[in-house]
Amino acid sequence: MFKEDSQRGAAVCSAVAELLSQGQRAAAERRGRRRTGRENKEEGRRGEETRLRGKGQPPGCPRRCADMNDIKLALLGSRGAGKSAVLVRFLTKRFIGEYASNTNSLYRKRLSIDGRQLNLEVFDPCSQQNVESRCILEEPVDWADGFVVVYDISDRLSFLNAKNVLCQIKEARMESCKSEADVPVCLVGNKQDLCHVRQVSEDEGRSLAQEHKCPFQEVSAAEDHQEISGLFTKLIRGVMEHLKHRTDRRRYSGSKSMVKLINNVFGKRRKSV
């Protein structure tokens, strides 16, 4: 059981590290510096799908007005919790059933919320990669504006992982941006249709969300679209509000410490390359 827990923890760690490493490449592009051979190689390997667009401004600068319409979210959670299913339900209203687990995906969609045209990007990391080489962060990162943390109500370990992830996000935020409001996050208890084999009560989910002051919803990606849509819309509104009030995006140290903290929890040591 411990081994499985540690594997799941490693998977979450991998997801965050991958997210951060993508932000690192985007930050490098923004600074307009030449990328190293290693970065070019990695970029080529991952292909177009996960490539991020540079914004032409250095990390730490406030967003320009146009950028306020670019919303970036990331899904985090245990392997098999239903991250892809939840996301695809939101984006396409469909439930496909099986999703590729061995690739990272960056989904893009234009949508309108409260009369504003938004460019949404959602990063859905694969949680099965080798963690060893990925828990490394040495450059500024500036990517996700909000997080969706997903667990499976029929899998207690996935709930415990979600708890850890929420703590990491909070701690990293406090460390990097003391004066800033918490980063928008929502907690999703997926697979509500499996309530006959439930291992996590709805009250537990709700009280965890209250503890972290984030919205919570139990959903079934297999059966329902409305609740998932409502949850994402709420999160995106939160991100829009958050971006409006944010003038200083000092994610550098926060992102570094996020990886460090996650590594601490899951027993990984930082390495240099």
Quick note: the x/- pattern for ligand GTP over 221-240, rule CB under 6 A, is xx------------------
Is residue 83 within the footprint of ligand GTP (CB under 6 A)? yes
H or E element, residue 173: helix 156-176
Is residue 158 within the footprint of ligand GTP (CB under 6 A)? no
Which of these ranges, 42-50, 65-73, 91-99, 136-144, lies near ligand GTP under the rule CB under 6 A?
91-99
When binding is defined by CB under 6 A, the residue of 14, 21, 50, 84 that contacts ligand GTP is 84
CB of 172 to ligand GTP, least distance (A): 21
Question: Residue 139's closest CA among 30, 263, 11?
Answer: 30
- In the chain, DSSP assigns E strands to 70-77, 105-113, 116-124, 146-152, 185-190, 216-218
b/e burial code for range 145-184 (CB count within 10 A of at least 16 → b): bbbbbbbbbbbebbbbbbbbbbebbbbbbeebbeebeebb
What is the spatial distance between Cα 117 and Cα 74, in angstroms, rounded to a whole number? 20
Class of residue 127 by CB neighbours under 10 A (exposed 0-12, middle 13-18, buried 19+): buried
Which of these ranges, 36-44, 94-102, 159-167, 199-207, lies near ligand GTP under the rule CB under 6 A?
94-102
CB-CB contact of 165 with 76 (8 Å): yes
Q: Under rule CB under 6 A, which residues in 182-201 are in contact with ligand GTP?
A: 190-191, 193-194
Which of these ranges, 121-129, 210-218, 237-245, 265-273, lies near ligand GTP under the rule CB under 6 A?
121-129
When the beta carbons of 191 and 249 are compared against ligand GTP, the nearer one is 191
CB of 58 to ligand GTP, least distance (A): 33
Residues whose CB falls within 8 Å of the CB of residue 212, separated by 6 or more in sequence, listed in order? 166, 170, 182, 185, 187
Is residue 99 within the footprint of ligand GTP (CB under 6 A)? yes
Is residue 140 within the footprint of ligand GTP (CB under 6 A)? no
Pairing of strands 105-113, 116-124: antiparallel
When the beta carbons of 235 and 243 are compared against ligand GTP, the nearer one is 235
CB of 139 to ligand GTP, least distance (A): 26
Pairing of strands 185-190, 146-152: parallel
CB-CB contact of 187 with 200 (8 Å): no
b/e burial code for range 193-206 (CB count within 10 A of at least 16 → b): eeeeebebeeeebe
When the beta carbons of 139 and 224 are compared against ligand GTP, the nearer one is 224
Of all residues in the shown chain, the one whose CB is closest to ligand GTP is: 82
When the beta carbons of 84 and 255 are compared against ligand GTP, the nearer one is 84
CB of 214 to ligand GTP, least distance (A): 19
Q: Under rule CB under 6 A, which residues in 51-80 are in contact with ligand GTP?
A: 77, 79-80
CB of 9 to ligand GTP, least distance (A): 13
Contact positions vs ligand GTP (CB under 6 A):
77, 79-85, 97-99, 101, 126-128, 190-191, 193-194, 220-222
